[in-house]
Homo-oligomer: A and B are copies of this chain.
Amino acid sequence: MKTKMENLEQVSSNKIFGGQQRVYSHESSELKCKMNFSLYLPPQAEGGDVKLPVIYYLSGLTCTEQNFITKSGFQRYAAEHGIIVIGPDTSPRGVKIDGDDESWDFGVSAGFYLDAAKEPWSKNYRMGSYLNTELYDLILKAFSNVVDPDRIGIMGHSMGGHGALVSTLRNPGQYKSVSAFAPICNPTACPWGVKAFNGYLGEDKAKWVEWDATELVKKYEGPPLTLLIDQGAADKFYIEKQLLPENLVEACRSVGVPVILNLREGYDHSYYYISSFIGEHFDFHAKILKA
């Protein structure tokens, strides 16, 4: 399949479950660096004469675009449902900022899918606008022959679960379906979030609530939405209160937003856990996107 964008470079393509698992790179104007993203074209995309639904998948801390496509086994389900799947990277790459590689939960691989407001991060760390505007528009244009712009969903894991929820709540209607594995549900109230928001957004907590799903859902006024939240009960980060799904559920119930919280006994935070339930998440998204 040829794309219509000249600044898009195909890095790799491997056949899997009858479709093509691709990685592309492009120069991002929001992030001012070269970025990779993954794109799975299910077998139904061949020929390019039918518009398919799309799911974005946002990865967690320490990941690149590779973890999800090699470890989750999602391609089987994407092929069954005929869904295109796109996996962005987790932060700007190759941009050298003092302190960007000092910790695994801030800086490189830890962009938190937000737009930084504080120097020196505000120049490049604009993952919110990158994902929801630049990459989103690029996909619509470059793959306009196979992408149905009216049937786009989003999911994610951990930091990426936060990203999926926040992207949906901040951009009403842009994502028709949303789910998350072990998401950071209330970043203003957990150590990971407090560190990241202090670093990227500064001390003004009025800015923090704009990137916190538990806060955002309380004032959500977009189209009807059901949140699907999945959580391993043996997940160390859940036990350590980094994820706080109960806070999000309580906020949803306080404003009448439907939410499903599936607690999975014995499961941890790893891709072993994700791979066990990603089929269920594809079923959930397919039911909405193919309704």
Contacts and interface: CB of A to CB of B under 8 A. Distances in A.
Interface string A146-184: 000000000000000000000000000000000000000
Contact of A272 (B21, B272, B273): B21
A271 interface: yes
A73 B275 contact: yes
B273 A16 contact: yes
Contacts of A14: 268, 270, 272-273
A76 B76 CA distance: 11
A39 to B, nearest CB: 14
A234 interface: yes
Contacts of A234: 15
A75 B272 CA distance: 9
A287 B276 CA distance: 24
Nearest to A271: B70
Interface string A60-79: 00000000001101011000
A204 to B, nearest CB: 40
A18 interface: yes
Nearest to A14: B272
A276 B71 contact: no
Contacts of A271: 70
B15 A268 contact: yes
Contacts of A70: 70-71, 271
Contacts of A21: 272
Interface string A1-38: 00000000000001111100100000000000000000
A22 to B, nearest CB: 11
A231 to B, nearest CB: 13
Nearest to A233: B15
Contacts of A270: 14
B71 A267 contact: no
Contacts of A94: none
A266 interface: yes
A273 B75 contact: no
Interface centre among A21, A71, A73 (most CB of B within 10 A): A73
Nearest to A69: B272
A196 B234 CA distance: 45
Interface of A: 14-18, 21, 70-71, 73, 75-76, 232, 234, 266-268, 270-273, 275-276
What are the 9 closest A-B residue pairs judged by CB atoms, nearest first?
Answer: A73-B73, A16-B272, A14-B272, A15-B266, A15-B267, A17-B276, A16-B276, A70-B71, A14-B270
17 contacts: A14-B270, A14-B273, A15-B232, A15-B234, A15-B266, A15-B267, A15-B272, A15-B273, A15-B276, A16-B273, A17-B276, A21-B272, A70-B71, A71-B71, A73-B76, A75-B275, A75-B276
